[in-house]
Chain A
Protein backbone atom coordinates (compact mmCIF):
# COMPACT_ATOMS: atom_id res chain seq x y z
CA UNK A 1 0.00 0.00 0.00
CA UNK A 2 1.64 3.27 -1.10
CA UNK A 3 1.51 6.37 1.03
CA UNK A 4 -1.93 7.95 0.74
CA UNK A 5 -0.81 11.54 0.33
CA UNK A 6 2.07 12.09 -2.04
CA UNK A 7 4.12 15.25 -2.37
CA UNK A 8 2.58 15.98 -5.76
CA UNK A 9 -0.84 15.92 -4.06
CA UNK A 10 0.21 18.66 -1.67
CA UNK A 11 1.53 20.76 -4.54
CA UNK A 12 -1.76 20.25 -6.35
CA UNK A 13 -3.53 21.41 -3.21
CA UNK A 14 -1.54 24.52 -2.36
CA UNK A 15 -0.93 25.82 -5.88
CA UNK A 16 -4.60 26.46 -6.78
CA UNK A 17 -5.40 27.75 -3.29
CA UNK A 18 -2.58 30.31 -3.46
CA UNK A 19 -3.48 31.19 -7.07
CA UNK A 20 -7.10 31.65 -6.02
CA UNK A 21 -6.17 33.94 -3.13
CA UNK A 22 -3.90 36.03 -5.38
CA UNK A 23 -6.69 36.30 -7.96
CA UNK A 24 -9.23 37.24 -5.30
CA UNK A 25 -6.98 39.96 -3.90
CA UNK A 26 -6.38 41.18 -7.44
CA UNK A 27 -10.12 41.38 -8.08
CA UNK A 28 -10.58 43.27 -4.83
CA UNK A 29 -8.04 45.91 -5.84
CA UNK A 30 -9.57 46.18 -9.28
CA UNK A 31 -12.99 46.48 -7.71
CA UNK A 32 -12.20 49.44 -5.43
CA UNK A 33 -14.42 52.48 -5.67
CA UNK A 34 -17.56 52.30 -7.73
CA UNK A 35 -18.48 55.98 -7.54
CA UNK A 36 -20.78 56.80 -10.40
CA UNK A 37 -21.07 53.10 -11.13
CA UNK A 38 -23.89 51.42 -12.97
CA UNK A 39 -25.86 48.28 -12.32
CA UNK A 40 -26.14 46.19 -15.45
CA UNK A 41 -28.71 43.43 -15.47
CA UNK A 42 -28.37 40.63 -18.00
CA UNK A 43 -31.03 38.06 -18.70
CA UNK A 44 -29.84 35.03 -20.66
CA UNK A 45 -26.79 37.03 -21.72
CA UNK A 46 -28.86 39.98 -22.98
CA UNK A 47 -28.58 43.41 -21.36
CA UNK A 48 -32.11 44.21 -20.15
CA UNK A 49 -31.56 47.03 -17.65
CA UNK A 50 -28.88 49.59 -16.81
CA UNK A 51 -29.34 51.78 -13.74
CA UNK A 52 -27.15 54.23 -11.87
CA UNK A 53 -26.04 53.01 -8.44
CA UNK A 54 -26.77 56.46 -7.06
CA UNK A 55 -30.48 56.36 -7.94
CA UNK A 56 -32.58 54.30 -5.57
CA UNK A 57 -34.87 51.98 -7.44
CA UNK A 58 -36.87 48.79 -7.12
CA UNK A 59 -37.66 46.72 -10.17
CA UNK A 60 -38.22 43.13 -11.07
CA UNK A 61 -36.91 41.09 -13.95
CA UNK A 62 -38.72 38.09 -15.33
CA UNK A 63 -36.69 35.13 -16.61
CA UNK A 64 -37.69 35.94 -20.20
CA UNK A 65 -35.98 39.34 -19.89
CA UNK A 66 -39.10 41.46 -19.27
CA UNK A 67 -38.43 44.30 -16.80
CA UNK A 68 -41.14 45.72 -14.52
CA UNK A 69 -40.77 49.02 -12.71
CA UNK A 70 -42.12 47.61 -9.46
CA UNK A 71 -41.87 44.51 -7.36
CA UNK A 72 -44.23 41.91 -8.77
CA UNK A 73 -43.87 38.83 -6.64
CA UNK A 74 -46.93 37.29 -8.28
CA UNK A 75 -45.09 36.75 -11.55
CA UNK A 76 -43.49 33.42 -12.26
CA UNK A 77 -39.69 33.18 -12.52
CA UNK A 78 -38.86 36.63 -11.24
CA UNK A 79 -36.01 38.36 -9.40
CA UNK A 80 -36.70 41.60 -7.53
CA UNK A 81 -33.72 43.94 -7.58
CA UNK A 82 -33.32 46.87 -5.21
CA UNK A 83 -30.79 49.68 -5.57
CA UNK A 84 -30.33 51.70 -2.41
CA UNK A 85 -27.54 53.81 -0.89
CA UNK A 86 -25.13 52.86 -3.66
CA UNK A 87 -25.65 49.13 -3.22
CA UNK A 88 -27.56 46.60 -5.24
CA UNK A 89 -29.27 43.45 -3.98
CA UNK A 90 -31.77 40.84 -5.06
CA UNK A 91 -34.33 40.95 -2.26
CA UNK A 92 -36.73 38.33 -3.52
CA UNK A 93 -36.89 35.66 -6.20
CA UNK A 94 -38.72 32.43 -6.85
CA UNK A 95 -35.70 30.47 -8.04
CA UNK A 96 -35.26 27.09 -6.35
CA UNK A 97 -31.94 27.77 -4.60
CA UNK A 98 -32.21 31.42 -3.56
CA UNK A 99 -28.47 31.91 -3.95
CA UNK A 100 -29.02 35.34 -5.52
CA UNK A 101 -30.83 36.54 -2.37
CA UNK A 102 -28.21 35.09 -0.05
CA UNK A 103 -25.49 36.88 -1.99
CA UNK A 104 -26.55 40.09 -0.25
CA UNK A 105 -25.56 43.58 -1.32
CA UNK A 106 -22.96 44.37 -3.91
CA UNK A 107 -21.34 47.75 -4.42
CA UNK A 108 -17.85 47.23 -5.77
CA UNK A 109 -17.01 47.42 -9.42
CA UNK A 110 -16.93 43.95 -10.99
CA UNK A 111 -19.03 42.36 -8.28
CA UNK A 112 -22.05 40.44 -9.47
CA UNK A 113 -25.12 38.61 -8.33
CA UNK A 114 -25.85 35.51 -10.35
CA UNK A 115 -29.09 33.55 -10.46
CA UNK A 116 -28.30 30.42 -12.44
CA UNK A 117 -31.87 29.03 -12.56
CA UNK A 118 -33.17 32.24 -14.15
CA UNK A 119 -29.95 32.92 -16.11
CA UNK A 120 -29.84 36.38 -14.54
CA UNK A 121 -26.75 38.43 -13.80
CA UNK A 122 -26.63 41.81 -12.07
CA UNK A 123 -23.17 43.32 -12.13
CA UNK A 124 -21.58 46.60 -11.15
CA UNK A 125 -19.82 48.36 -13.98
CA UNK A 126 -18.32 51.73 -14.77
CA UNK A 127 -17.35 54.18 -12.11
CA UNK A 128 -13.90 55.59 -11.53
CA UNK A 129 -10.98 54.13 -13.35
CA UNK A 130 -9.20 51.92 -10.84
CA UNK A 131 -5.68 52.93 -9.79
CA UNK A 132 -4.26 49.61 -10.93
CA UNK A 133 -4.59 50.66 -14.56
CA UNK A 134 -2.62 53.85 -14.01
CA UNK A 135 0.15 51.90 -12.33
CA UNK A 136 0.24 49.39 -15.18
CA UNK A 137 0.66 52.18 -17.73
Chain B
Protein backbone atom coordinates (compact mmCIF):
# COMPACT_ATOMS: atom_id res chain seq x y z
CA UNK B 1 0.00 0.00 0.00
CA UNK B 2 1.26 3.43 -0.85
CA UNK B 3 1.18 5.86 2.02
CA UNK B 4 0.52 9.59 1.68
CA UNK B 5 4.14 10.45 2.39
CA UNK B 6 5.18 8.00 -0.30
CA UNK B 7 2.98 9.90 -2.75
CA UNK B 8 4.54 13.22 -1.80
CA UNK B 9 7.99 11.68 -2.17
CA UNK B 10 7.08 10.37 -5.60
CA UNK B 11 5.88 13.81 -6.73
CA UNK B 12 9.11 15.33 -5.40
CA UNK B 13 11.15 12.68 -7.18
CA UNK B 14 9.45 13.40 -10.49
CA UNK B 15 9.80 17.15 -9.95
CA UNK B 16 13.55 16.67 -9.43
CA UNK B 17 13.71 14.50 -12.56
CA UNK B 18 11.81 17.15 -14.54
CA UNK B 19 14.24 19.83 -13.34
CA UNK B 20 17.26 17.77 -14.38
CA UNK B 21 15.64 17.20 -17.77
CA UNK B 22 15.00 20.96 -18.02
CA UNK B 23 18.68 21.55 -17.39
CA UNK B 24 19.73 18.96 -19.97
CA UNK B 25 17.36 20.56 -22.46
CA UNK B 26 18.63 24.09 -21.72
CA UNK B 27 22.20 23.00 -22.44
CA UNK B 28 21.40 21.01 -25.59
CA UNK B 29 21.88 22.94 -28.84
CA UNK B 30 19.10 20.93 -30.47
CA UNK B 31 17.36 23.74 -32.36
CA UNK B 32 18.35 24.56 -35.94
CA UNK B 33 17.75 28.28 -35.81
CA UNK B 34 14.09 27.62 -35.11
CA UNK B 35 12.91 29.60 -32.10
CA UNK B 36 10.92 27.63 -29.56
CA UNK B 37 11.99 24.24 -30.86
CA UNK B 38 12.74 21.89 -27.99
CA UNK B 39 12.82 18.20 -27.20
CA UNK B 40 10.28 18.59 -24.42
CA UNK B 41 12.15 16.22 -22.13
CA UNK B 42 10.56 17.53 -18.88
CA UNK B 43 7.22 16.51 -20.34
CA UNK B 44 8.30 12.92 -19.65
CA UNK B 45 7.72 13.47 -15.92
CA UNK B 46 4.35 15.10 -16.59
CA UNK B 47 3.16 12.27 -18.84
CA UNK B 48 4.24 9.71 -16.26
CA UNK B 49 2.35 11.54 -13.51
CA UNK B 50 -0.78 11.62 -15.66
CA UNK B 51 -0.62 7.85 -15.97
CA UNK B 52 0.17 6.95 -12.39
CA UNK B 53 -2.90 5.92 -10.36
CA UNK B 54 -4.82 9.10 -9.50
CA UNK B 55 -6.48 7.69 -6.40
CA UNK B 56 -3.39 8.44 -4.36
CA UNK B 57 -1.76 11.71 -3.37
CA UNK B 58 0.65 11.63 -6.28
CA UNK B 59 -0.35 10.69 -9.79
CA UNK B 60 -3.18 11.96 -11.92
CA UNK B 61 -3.90 15.34 -13.40
CA UNK B 62 -3.76 17.34 -10.17
CA UNK B 63 -0.31 16.10 -9.23
CA UNK B 64 0.84 16.63 -12.83
CA UNK B 65 -0.38 20.24 -12.66
CA UNK B 66 1.38 20.88 -9.34
CA UNK B 67 4.67 19.39 -10.46
CA UNK B 68 4.44 21.19 -13.81
CA UNK B 69 3.84 24.64 -12.30
CA UNK B 70 6.66 24.18 -9.79
CA UNK B 71 8.93 22.88 -12.54
CA UNK B 72 8.31 25.94 -14.74
CA UNK B 73 8.90 28.41 -11.92
CA UNK B 74 12.08 26.75 -10.61
CA UNK B 75 13.56 25.95 -14.01
CA UNK B 76 12.61 29.42 -15.26
CA UNK B 77 14.50 31.15 -12.49
CA UNK B 78 17.43 28.73 -12.68
CA UNK B 79 18.05 28.48 -16.42
CA UNK B 80 15.80 31.05 -18.08
CA UNK B 81 14.30 34.50 -17.85
CA UNK B 82 10.99 35.99 -16.75
CA UNK B 83 9.97 36.23 -20.39
CA UNK B 84 10.91 32.58 -20.79
CA UNK B 85 8.63 31.61 -17.89
CA UNK B 86 5.68 33.21 -19.67
CA UNK B 87 6.46 31.15 -22.74
CA UNK B 88 6.94 27.82 -21.01
CA UNK B 89 3.90 28.38 -18.81
CA UNK B 90 1.67 28.94 -21.85
CA UNK B 91 3.02 25.84 -23.56
CA UNK B 92 3.03 23.61 -20.52
CA UNK B 93 -0.44 24.51 -19.25
CA UNK B 94 -2.00 24.17 -22.71
CA UNK B 95 -0.34 20.81 -23.24
CA UNK B 96 -1.41 19.54 -19.81
CA UNK B 97 -5.03 20.56 -20.46
CA UNK B 98 -5.04 18.93 -23.88
CA UNK B 99 -3.25 15.78 -22.70
CA UNK B 100 -5.71 15.32 -19.85
CA UNK B 101 -8.67 15.75 -22.21
CA UNK B 102 -7.19 13.42 -24.83
CA UNK B 103 -6.42 10.79 -22.21
CA UNK B 104 -9.99 10.95 -20.88
CA UNK B 105 -11.45 10.12 -24.29
CA UNK B 106 -9.90 6.67 -23.90
CA UNK B 107 -9.21 6.34 -27.61
CA UNK B 108 -5.53 7.11 -27.38
CA UNK B 109 -2.53 5.36 -25.85
CA UNK B 110 0.28 7.02 -23.98
CA UNK B 111 2.02 7.87 -27.26
CA UNK B 112 -1.02 9.65 -28.65
CA UNK B 113 -1.50 11.57 -25.41
CA UNK B 114 2.13 12.65 -25.48
CA UNK B 115 1.88 13.69 -29.15
CA UNK B 116 -1.16 15.83 -28.39
CA UNK B 117 0.87 17.40 -25.58
CA UNK B 118 3.88 18.21 -27.75
CA UNK B 119 1.68 19.58 -30.51
CA UNK B 120 -0.44 21.79 -28.27
CA UNK B 121 2.67 22.95 -26.40
CA UNK B 122 4.24 24.29 -29.59
CA UNK B 123 1.00 25.77 -30.93
CA UNK B 124 0.31 27.57 -27.65
CA UNK B 125 3.82 29.04 -27.64
CA UNK B 126 3.40 30.12 -31.24
CA UNK B 127 0.16 31.84 -30.31
CA UNK B 128 1.80 33.64 -27.38
CA UNK B 129 4.68 34.72 -29.62
CA UNK B 130 2.30 36.11 -32.24
CA UNK B 131 -0.33 37.72 -30.03
CA UNK B 132 1.14 38.75 -26.70
CA UNK B 133 4.81 39.23 -27.56
CA UNK B 134 3.90 40.74 -30.93
CA UNK B 135 6.36 38.75 -33.01
CA UNK B 136 4.64 38.61 -36.41
CA UNK B 137 7.40 36.66 -38.18
CA UNK B 138 6.80 33.60 -36.01
CA UNK B 139 4.03 32.35 -38.28
CA UNK B 140 6.68 31.26 -40.74
CA UNK B 141 7.82 28.60 -38.28
CA UNK B 142 4.37 27.09 -37.75
CA UNK B 143 4.92 24.07 -40.06
CA UNK B 144 8.30 23.25 -38.53
CA UNK B 145 6.93 23.59 -35.00
CA UNK B 146 3.93 21.38 -35.81
CA UNK B 147 6.17 18.61 -37.13
CA UNK B 148 8.70 19.04 -34.30
CA UNK B 149 6.00 18.93 -31.62
CA UNK B 150 4.54 15.75 -33.08
CA UNK B 151 7.84 13.92 -33.46
CA UNK B 152 9.26 14.91 -30.07
CA UNK B 153 5.90 14.14 -28.47
CA UNK B 154 6.00 10.66 -30.01
CA UNK B 155 9.51 10.07 -28.65
CA UNK B 156 8.50 11.19 -25.17
CA UNK B 157 5.41 9.00 -25.39
CA UNK B 158 7.42 5.91 -26.31
CA UNK B 159 9.91 6.62 -23.51
CA UNK B 160 7.13 7.15 -20.97
CA UNK B 161 5.42 3.96 -22.13
CA UNK B 162 8.65 2.06 -21.54
CA UNK B 163 9.21 3.51 -18.06
CA UNK B 164 5.62 3.37 -16.81
CA UNK B 165 5.45 -0.37 -15.96
CA UNK B 166 8.47 -0.03 -13.70
CA UNK B 167 7.08 3.10 -12.06
CA UNK B 168 3.82 1.26 -11.46
CA UNK B 169 5.63 -1.71 -9.96
CA UNK B 170 7.49 0.60 -7.56
CA UNK B 171 4.85 3.17 -6.69
CA UNK B 172 1.57 2.02 -8.19
CA UNK B 173 -1.32 0.27 -6.53
CA UNK B 174 0.35 -2.22 -4.27
CA UNK B 175 -2.80 -4.33 -4.10
CA UNK B 176 -1.38 -7.03 -6.37
CA UNK B 177 1.91 -7.20 -4.58
CA UNK B 178 2.93 -7.50 -1.01
Contacts and interface: CB of A to CB of B under 8 A. Distances in A.
A29 interface: no
Interface string B134-153: 11111011111011011100
A36 interface: no
Contact of B33 (A8, A104, A119): A104
Contacts of B66: none
A45 B133 contact: yes
Interface residues of B, number: 42
A119 B137 contact: no
**Which residue among A8, A102, A110, A119 has the maximum number of chain B CB atoms within 10 Å of its CB?**
A8
Given A16-B115, A23-B146, A117-B83, 14 more contacts: A1-B165, A6-B111, A8-B107, A12-B150, A13-B111, A13-B112, A16-B119, A16-B147, A17-B151, A45-B136, A97-B31, A100-B33, A102-B33, A104-B33
A25 B154 CA distance: 23
Interface in B25-44: 29, 31-36
Contacts of A116: 35-36, 83-84, 87, 129, 133, 135
8 contacts: A4-B111, A6-B112, A27-B140, A42-B136, A44-B133, A102-B32, A114-B141, A123-B136
B134 A6 contact: no
Contacts, number: 126
B150 A9 contact: no
A2 interface: yes
B150 A5 contact: no
A12 B133 contact: no
A122 B108 CA distance: 40
Contacts of A4: 109-111, 158, 161
